[in-house]
Amino acid sequence: MPARPRECVARVTTTRALTPDVLEVDLAMVEPATLAFDAGQWVSVPLGPKTVRAYSIASSPRAPASITLCADVAPGGIGSAWFRGRRPGQDVRFKGPLGGFVLPPGDTRRLVLVAEEIGIVPIRAIAGELAAAGFERATTLVYWARDPGWLVYDAELRTLARRHPRFAYHPVVRAGGGARSEAAPTVDALVTDVTALVAYVAGGEATINAVRAVLTGKGLERKAVKWEKFW
């Protein structure tokens, strides 16, 4: 059963720049001492009286004494400034865990995971849990980005694919100088049978809608397409 969200305090231990615009922050739990959560969930950080931002948890629930948050700070808004300003030793208050973009226990359906740029954060966490279980379910991941520099977890995912024959990884970037190449055409080409299939899509609304249209057009039930909208 998913953990109930609660008010939490954690302390910044490390910050990392995966790219100039994608940052990670490691937080050691203070109160509570550990945080029970499921891969794919997020936390809500208050930035003002009426301003909150949601950040997906990038780390594994198997290490609950700390969590890692990952964010695209390119937009340059209040959330971006807050994330860029985190320094070791600072305390962070948040509410969590939140969200239902998770794998329910006992589900054995084949998986199609689709991520658009920073939408990879919950998808990567889910893939990590599947890897820890030895990929008992056949899983395909389509990861779209505007250019290779935005495939922030590409090396890690390629390593998973080499180690696990039941995990297929398909990074996709925009065709140079041509039309925008979205994730949906790749999903269309890869998915030929929707029997016993479930899809998890994270990214922008346009990508979510396009991927869902492709899969429902092949006969997949609409409710078998789970989604997490980032913009």
Residue 98, pLDDT above cutoff 90:
yes
Please report the pLDDT score of residue 76 as a whole number.
Answer: 87
pLDDT tens by residue, 11-42:
999 999 999 999 999 999 999 999 999 999 99
**Average of per-residue pLDDT across 218-226:** 98
Question: What is the overall mean pLDDT for the chain?
Answer: 94
- Asked if 59 contacts 35 with a C-beta cutoff of 8 angstroms, the reply is no
| DSSP notation for 23-87 | EEEEEEEEESSS----TT-EEEEEEETTEEEEEEB-S-TT-TTEEEEEEE-TT-SHHHHHHHT--
Give the whole-angstrom CA distance, residue 115 versus residue 186: 12
**Average of per-residue pLDDT across 169-185:** 75
Q: How is residue 88 written in tokens?
A: 């070791």
**Average of per-residue pLDDT across 80-104:** 97
- Asked if 45 contacts 82 with a C-beta cutoff of 8 angstroms, the reply is yes
Please report the pLDDT score of residue 81 as a whole number.
Answer: 95
Model confidence at 180, in pLDDT bands (50, 70, 90)?
Answer: low
Model confidence at 179, in pLDDT bands (50, 70, 90)?
Answer: very low
Vertex 152: Cα angle to 191 and 43 (nearest 5): 90
Domains of the chain: 6-98 (2.40.30.10), 110-229 (3.40.50.80)
What is the number of other CB atoms lying within 10 angstroms of the CB of residue 174? 16
**Average of per-residue pLDDT across 189-198:** 97
| DSSP notation for 208-231 | HHHHHHHHHHTT--GGGEEEEE--
φ, ψ at 169 (rounded to 5°): -115, 125
